[in-house]
Amino acid sequence: MLIVKKFGGTSVADAERIFNVANRLIEAYKEGHKIVVVLSAQGDTTDDLIEKANEINPNASKREMDMLLSTGEQQSVALMAMAIRKLGYPAISLNAYQCDIYSTSTYGNARIKNISTERISEELEKNNIVIITGFQGINRSGDITTLGRGGSDTSAVALAAVLNADLCEIYTDVDGVYTADPRVVKNAKKLSEISYDEMLELASLGAKVLHNRSVELAKKYNVNLVVRSSLTREEGTIVKEESNVEKMLVNGVAVDKDISRIAIVGLQDQPGIAFNVFSLLARNKISVDIILQSIGREDTKDISFTVATSDLKDALKVIEENKNRLKYEKLLHETKVAKVSIVGGGMATNSGVASTMFEALYDENINIRMISTSEIKISVLVGEDDAERAANAVHEKFRLDQINNTQNH
Amino acid sequence: MLIVKKFGGTSVADAERIFNVANRLIEAYKEGHKIVVVLSAQGDTTDDLIEKANEINPNASKREMDMLLSTGEQQSVALMAMAIRKLGYPAISLNAYQCDIYSTSTYGNARIKNISTERISEELEKNNIVIITGFQGINRSGDITTLGRGGSDTSAVALAAVLNADLCEIYTDVDGVYTADPRVVKNAKKLSEISYDEMLELASLGAKVLHNRSVELAKKYNVNLVVRSSLTREEGTIVKEESNVEKMLVNGVAVDKDISRIAIVGLQDQPGIAFNVFSLLARNKISVDIILQSIGREDTKDISFTVATSDLKDALKVIEENKNRLKYEKLLHETKVAKVSIVGGGMATNSGVASTMFEALYDENINIRMISTSEIKISVLVGEDDAERAANAVHEKFRLDQINNTQNH
């Protein structure tokens, strides 16, 4: 088998951990597999480099930031190659340039466009364990780009796709995908399988196991993806086209506290007003999540919506700058809110799910401020202080602690 | 003018120093010059990385070491670009890959083969200050190499050569080339000019201002080279084809303590014995400096020679392993020795120089163990404890403190 394995920064933080990973890689290598490894920068390296840059120029150009940050991954891969060779096995490190990981030019948030497999295949032919820098690419000018948050996951999945790998294993500090965040919901249970779509909903809902972009890519190229722990030998969670898990109504509960609510109050009631607001935000690259439009007083409308808290400042600024054009009375915002969501493939065909969720929250006396639904998820906005209680109540109501993992592997 | 400026690791060790250099670069830029900057890794970065590697694998492959170490320079150039932009001027950083600095494949000690100026010229056309990683190259496989000791000096001179730069300034922590090491000889005086050849002799004699390879390259391509201080505004020392300094008999005194003496005693007196010894050492890449062959007792010969102390262990090992073939009685060595040398273009045509030097040492009661001469230098081997006294005595004897710098710039 050709296996792509990705390890995050915590897994390679020091010499001891590097050897732990090296041993795991050698184990798989000795079983006769061809191994491609994708690594992030060691521990706090990236943060330290960002701090160094901020000391010099807090508004450093993104091109130079990428030039700086990409050194972290390059150090990791070189050290890993040294460790594997120390243990007596052949290994070689490659950076984005050396395996032609071409990306778009958007420094700091580039997307992989194509990868040439020539060098990697050549090194695999030589029986090397091939260790590749995650998180980075090169653009058409040959300059270094980075792929943004979760970039190394994306690197791994993209490599698995172009190499036609039999398996892509993402090693993290959790041992799989759970029905809820185990730190929030005590009875959360690990899923043996989940579908790409459910994983996408969970990821976008704030379950920080896999980055969305990597799951999208895995779905697009049908990559056999597994999330598992770098610390234990537990079998992880398989992410695939069709989940073999019993068609549960609900597969998981997710909580996202990094959101804020914005309310534009007293908008003049004229055609296209919602379009004006949201096209303005889209042009400024601000993603809007739950939207609620309601009738205000005296022929006006109110529009509320949620954004990532990191976008809040920009969103407010853009709206204020366009006050004359948008014509509204007041602009309000609130950061002490959280989104609690349930996800499940069986939800679409069962109308009782939403009401069951609302009942659970009602029983706990939790106020729902906004609601949003898709085919496979329902999200509600609640006060931040209610979030954990809400997640537990919903988890229990849907008996997710009794979920039946019909494993077939 | 197109000027290549090289700054070492100390000059970019922290944010404050980076801004100091940035300001100096901007000053030259504002005078209308096109500026190419070559940087080393910050302060202790390279040592820290070596330590990290040693922790994992003290015998790490040189390819992986280069992959690791080259990140240091990449960080420097990115940070410098950020600093210059922070001060409001345009700058861009480039690594070896991006400006096609092709080298031989000898990891850890590669030599530059050719550089494509395309990208650099393009960035200069855009009025950028162009900041390039020193010390590194890429080989034919596209893998990263490093250029060994003094590599960044070599990078700077090579870039100056291919770019047809008007000037190549090497900034160091001394403000030029002196008649002797000012820490050893109090009255040492700075030279305003020196010829490539004299500089080469001084460099190889242990005056650690410029690395030999960079001077050789400067001589080959007739690069206008200046050594000056990154800390002061002092004019430095110009290194050029013909020194305009008054034809002094002696231009400088150098001391090298990093050498050891090896004596092979009781070699059978047969033809080719010296050839056998030194071809053996050459095959093992051990450079030999001063050689002395003398007649031993009873038809045998003794051969003594000096090597760099870092090569001592290897040299002894190789000779011992070949004891049967070389046929000798005893192998001796001594590390507490030093080489004191005088260098000067006028020496070749004046026969009194050597005897003047020996007189100075005799007056100080310093025992000379070995002697070696070339057209423009005379070296003597003395006890390590005598080295500084010897250097001062010779410096005074030749009145180097009264050297006349006829500057024409």
pLDDT tens digits, A11-61: 999 999 999 999 999 999 999 999 999 999 999 999 999 999 999 999 999
- Inter-chain contact A82–B57, Cβ cutoff 8 Å? yes
Which of B19, B64, B78 lies nearest to residue A64, judging by beta carbons? B78
CB-CB contact of A384 with A336 (8 Å): yes
Residues of A (89-108) whose Cβ lies below 8 Å from B: 92-93, 95, 97-98
Distances (CA, A) of B266 to B119, B134, B261, B319, B331: 61, 48, 16, 14, 9
A64: chain B residues, CB-CB within 8 Å: 78-79, 81-82, 85, 93
Q: DSSP 3-state assignment of B143?
A: coil
Name the domain boundary from A172, A199, A233: A172
**Quick check: ipTM above 0.90?**
no
- Is B113 in the A-facing interface, judged by CB distances under 8 Å? no
For chain B, how far is it from start to end, CA to CA, in angstroms? 16
CA-based nearest residue to B78, from A78, A56, A108, A152: A56
- The tokens of A53 are what? 């840059």
- Inter-chain contact A71–B67, Cβ cutoff 8 Å? no
Chain segment A343-363, per-residue pLDDT in tens = 887 676 666 777 788 888 888
CB-CB contact of A401 with A189 (8 Å): yes
Choice between A219 and B251, residue whose per-residue pLDDT is larger? A219
- Whole-number Å distance between alpha carbons of B91 and B83: 9
Residue A181: the pLDDT is 82
Chain segment B8-17, per-residue pLDDT in tens = 999 999 999 9
Same domain? For A14 and A156 the reply is: yes
Band (pLDDT 50/70/90 cuts) for residue A243 is low
- The tokens of A378 are what? 């329902």
CB-CB contact of B161 with B217 (8 Å): yes
Task: Give the mean model confidence (pLDDT) for residues B272-289.
Answer: 83
Dihedral angle sign, alpha carbons of residues A76, A81, A82, A87: positive
Band (pLDDT 50/70/90 cuts) for residue B136 is very high
CA-based nearest residue to B376, from B343, B353, B400: B343
Residue B189: the pLDDT is 86
- Is A13 in the B-facing interface, judged by CB distances under 8 Å? no
- Is A231 in the B-facing interface, judged by CB distances under 8 Å? no
CATH number of the domain where residue A350 is located:
3.30.2130.10
Is the model's pLDDT at B357 over the cut of 90?
no
CA-based nearest residue to A94, from A60, A123, A54, A62: A123
On whether residue B50 sits in a domain, the answer given is: yes
**Burial degree of B232 (CB within 10 A; 0-12, 13-18, 19+):** exposed
Is the model's pLDDT at B249 over the cut of 80?
no
State the residue range of the domain holding B21: 2-172
- Is A143 in the B-facing interface, judged by CB distances under 8 Å? yes
Chain segment B163-184, per-residue pLDDT in tens = 999 999 999 888 888 888 888 8
Same domain? For A287 and A385 the reply is: yes
Same domain? For A168 and A280 the reply is: no
B53: chain A residues, CB-CB within 8 Å: 78-79, 82
A45 to chain B nearest CA, in Å? 12
Helix or strand holding residue A237 (H, E): strand A237-240
Same domain? For A397 and A293 the reply is: yes
CA-based nearest residue to A148, from A293, A310, A16: A310
Is the model's pLDDT at B30 over the cut of 50?
yes
On whether residue A230 sits in a domain, the answer given is: no
Band (pLDDT 50/70/90 cuts) for residue B277 is confident
CB-CB contact of A341 with A351 (8 Å): no
Structural domains counted in chain B: 1
Distances (CA, A) of B145 to A92, A153, B71, B371: 14, 29, 11, 38
Which of B19, B52, B56 lies nearest to residue A86, judging by beta carbons? B56
Residue A38: the pLDDT is 98
Choice between B203 and B26, residue whose per-residue pLDDT is larger? B26
A116: chain B residues, CB-CB within 8 Å: none
Which of B55, B71, B85 lies nearest to residue A71, judging by beta carbons? B71
- Inter-chain contact A71–B68, Cβ cutoff 8 Å? no
Task: Give the mean model confidence (pLDDT) for residues B323-333.
Answer: 90
On whether residue B183 sits in a domain, the answer given is: no
- Inter-chain contact B64–A78, Cβ cutoff 8 Å? yes
Is the model's pLDDT at A406 over the cut of 50?
no
Range in A286-295, B87-96, B275-284, B324-333 the model is least confident about:
A286-295
Distances (CA, A) of B283 to A403, B111, B155: 71, 20, 28
CA nearest to B50 within chain A = A79
**Burial degree of B375 (CB within 10 A; 0-12, 13-18, 19+):** exposed
Residue A288: the pLDDT is 83
Chain segment A165-211, per-residue pLDDT in tens = 999 999 988 888 888 888 888 888 888 888 898 888 877 666 677 88
Q: Give, in degrees to the nearest 5, the angle at Cα A331 between A327 and A333.
A: 155
On whether residue A180 sits in a domain, the answer given is: no
Beta bridge partners of A256: A339
CA-based nearest residue to A332, from A298, A292, A365: A292
Q: How many CB atoms lie within 10 A of CB A34?
A: 22
Dihedral angle sign, alpha carbons of residues B357, B359, B365, B369: positive
**Burial degree of B363 (CB within 10 A; 0-12, 13-18, 19+):** exposed
Chain segment A299-315, per-residue pLDDT in tens = 788 888 999 898 999 99
Residue B131: the pLDDT is 98
CATH number of the domain where residue B97 is located:
3.40.1160.10
Residue A350: the pLDDT is 65
On whether residue B158 sits in a domain, the answer given is: yes
Is the model's pLDDT at A87 over the cut of 50?
yes
- Whole-number Å distance between alpha carbons of A160 and A2: 9
Q: Give, in degrees to the nearest 5, the angle at Cα A364 between A262 and A396.
A: 105
Band (pLDDT 50/70/90 cuts) for residue B130 is very high
Band (pLDDT 50/70/90 cuts) for residue A409 is very low
Residue type at position B73: E
On whether residue B118 sits in a domain, the answer given is: yes
- Whole-number Å distance between alpha carbons of A359 and A250: 15
Strands, sheet with B2-7, edge to edge from the N-terminal-most edge strand: B91-94, B129-133, B34-39, B2-7, B167-172, B225-229, B237-240, B193-195
Task: Give the mean model confidence (pLDDT) for residues B37-65.
Answer: 95
A75: chain B residues, CB-CB within 8 Å: 49, 52, 68, 71
Is the model's pLDDT at B407 over the cut of 80?
no
Question: Per residue, what are the HEC states of B177-228?
Answer: CECCCCCCCCCCCECCEEEHHHHHHHHHCCCCCCCHHHHHHHHHCCCCEEEE
- Is B75 in the A-facing interface, judged by CB distances under 8 Å? yes
- Inter-chain contact B74–A67, Cβ cutoff 8 Å? yes
Is the model's pLDDT at B408 over the cut of 50?
no
CA nearest to B92 within chain A = A64
CB-CB contact of B150 with B8 (8 Å): no
Task: Give the mean model confidence (pLDDT) for residues A107-129.
Answer: 95
B134 to chain A nearest CA, in Å? 15
- Widest pairwise Cα distance in chain A: 78
Q: What is the mean pLDDT of chain B?
A: 88
Helices A212-220 and A196-204, packing angle to 10 deg: 160
Is the model's pLDDT at B406 over the cut of 60?
no
On whether residue A408 sits in a domain, the answer given is: no
On whether residue A181 sits in a domain, the answer given is: no
Band (pLDDT 50/70/90 cuts) for residue A297 is low
CA-based nearest residue to B182, from B207, B212, B215, B150: B207
Choice between B123 and A183, residue whose per-residue pLDDT is larger? B123
**Burial degree of A406 (CB within 10 A; 0-12, 13-18, 19+):** exposed
Chain segment A375-405, per-residue pLDDT in tens = 778 888 999 999 999 999 999 988 888 776 5
Residue type at position B199: M
Choice between B406 and B323, residue whose per-residue pLDDT is larger? B323
Is the model's pLDDT at B245 over the cut of 80?
no
B108 to chain A nearest CA, in Å? 14
CB-CB contact of A1 with A166 (8 Å): yes
